[in-house]
Amino acid sequence: MPSHGSHGSHHSHSDVSHHSHGLARSSTSRSTALESLKTISDSFKSLPDVAQTLHELPRCIEQLEHIVTFSSEDVTKHVEIGEILDNLRADAKQFLNILRLSALEADQEYQFSIEMIELCDIIMSDSTGVHLQELVETMKTRATDMRESSTKVAEEFIKVNYALMETGKSIPVATETLMSRKQYVTERKRVAERRAAPLKVIRGGFAAAGGVVGVIGGISAIAFPPVALLALSAVLPILAVITNVIEKRNRNCIKERRAEERELKAAIKRLREASNGLNNLIDNLDVFTKFWRNIELILIEIGDRLAEFEYLRTSPSGKIRVEMMRNTWAEANEEYRKYRINLEKLRTLYSQSEDSRSLKSGRTNSTVGGTPNRHSSTKSPTSKSSSRGSRSQNHRKTSTSKSRSSTHGSRTSSHDPSNSSTSCRIHN
């Protein structure tokens, strides 16, 4: 009997010990789940502030809208600007596409925050473990799907950011080329302006001298044959006419130089504005990229920890903390709502700008012949080469070779400062 009692006592002690270890594991799991949930919630609250970015982006878009509305005449005169504008238009289209994708993903994130609130409500209720487990499995699937979507959004933002950076690299080179051309035009304009006054004096002198010689020749013809005076009276008017022609061409040259100088100033100003606008847009896109990258990491964490949430329903202290975290998710839900509203406003604004540009481009193309469409289709967001790396390098190599072979004569003026209009080449 003693041995049996001892044996029973041993089993009783073993059961208590096993139960206490089970409670310890359960308590540890609940603690881990609580800390994980708190970390995830805090991470959502500390995401990069896209609200401020969404307020700043319209200004950037308006700047780019002003830049890319160069007339076709301006573009054909300055091939550097034409190439940059083609790239900016392609980047703008790519940016519009990522805004649309981001809007769809924001809707998913908004719905997910609602589901997380529901999950917190169920954890705080007396629901059975089966019901909770079903919701947990659903949330795990949702988290996985959204993580893949957020990864794609982040990669698309990286692609358009890279494309804008590549465009930005070409702006200083184009600006330097136009500044060199402007310096040459200004110098030739000043030469023509310095020549204007002497030509006017010479023309007036020839005209006056011709009149005097004509009078003297007429008076002298009564007494003797004025051969020299007659010859001089015939030559001086001709010289006056030639001088008048030269003076007129010089005035036209001054007018053309001044017009080209104004165009070059406007082009340089546009390029500098483009550089500033691109830098601002790139900075703002960095915020979007960080936002979606952080979302991706958070969703990975959610997927890893969701299975532990079932322990929260048995912990009284855990329910209090879950209620606090439910409030956090409610705040996140409100932030997503604002995000969606602001993003929709931004997308609408950009769509209107895109439609306006398309309309203007259609009108211009029907009149001038248009600018070749250099935008390649957006590819899978699996590598940088699918973005501007491939589009920019292949397109610009082709564009450069075509420009060198087919436009060597017609567009030399954009690269060779010594080229100018016919009237200025003759007399400068």
Domains and CATH numbers, the chain: 30-193+271-427 (1.20.1170)
CB atoms within 10 A of CB 6: 9
CB-based contact 397:227 (threshold 8 Å): no
Tell me what pLDDT residue 403 has: 40
Alpha carbon of residue 238 to chain centroid: 61
Q: How many CB atoms lie within 10 A of CB 199?
A: 19
d(CA 375, CA 386): 13
- Report residue 88 as tokens: 């900016």
The token pair that represents 235 in the structure block: 């030559």
Cβ-based neighbours of 341, under 8 Å, separated by 6 or more: none
- Check the CA dihedral 67-70-76-77 and report its sign: negative
pLDDT in tens, the chain (428 residues): 344 444 444 444 444 444 444 434 444 444 554 555 555 555 555 555 666 666 666 666 666 666 666 554 555 466 767 788 788 878 877 887 887 787 778 788 788 878 878 877 777 776 666 666 777 777 778 877 878 888 888 888 888 888 888 888 888 888 888 888 888 888 888 787 776 666 666 656 555 555 444 444 444 444 444 545 455 555 666 666 676 777 777 778 878 888 888 888 887 887 787 787 777 778 777 777 777 777 777 777 666 666 556 556 566 666 676 777 677 677 767 767 776 777 777 666 666 655 555 555 554 444 434 433 444 433 333 343 344 444 444 444 444 444 434 433 433 344 444 444 434 443 44
Three-class secondary structure of residue 306 per DSSP: helix
pLDDT of residue 377: 38
pLDDT given at position 414: 42
Encoded tokens for 264: 């070059």
- Which pLDDT score is estimated for 67? 63
DSSP assignment, residue 383? S
Secondary structure of residue 122 in the 3-state scheme: helix
CA-closest candidate to residue 40, choices 387, 289, 294, 259: 294
Rg (CA), the chain: 39
List, as own/partner pairs, every contact residues 266-270 make where C-beta atoms lie below 8 angstroms and the sequence separation is at least 24, other chains included.
266/74, 267/74, 267/78, 267/81, 267/178, 268/175, 268/178, 268/179, 268/182, 270/67, 270/70, 270/81
The alpha carbon of 68 is separated from its chain's Cα centroid by a whole number of angstroms, namely 11
- How far is it, in rounded angstroms, from Cα 33 to Cα 82? 58
Angle formed at CA 311 by CA 308 and CA 314, multiple of 5 degrees: 165
36: CB partners within 8 A, 6+ apart: 301, 305, 308
Distance CA 236, CA 219 (A): 18
CA angle 214, 218, 220 (to 5 degrees): 115
3-state helix, strand, coil split of the chain in percent (to 5) is 90, 0, 10
Distance (Å) of CA 22 to CA 11, 27, 123: 16, 8, 21
Q: Provide the CA 302 distance to its chain's centre, in angstroms.
A: 33
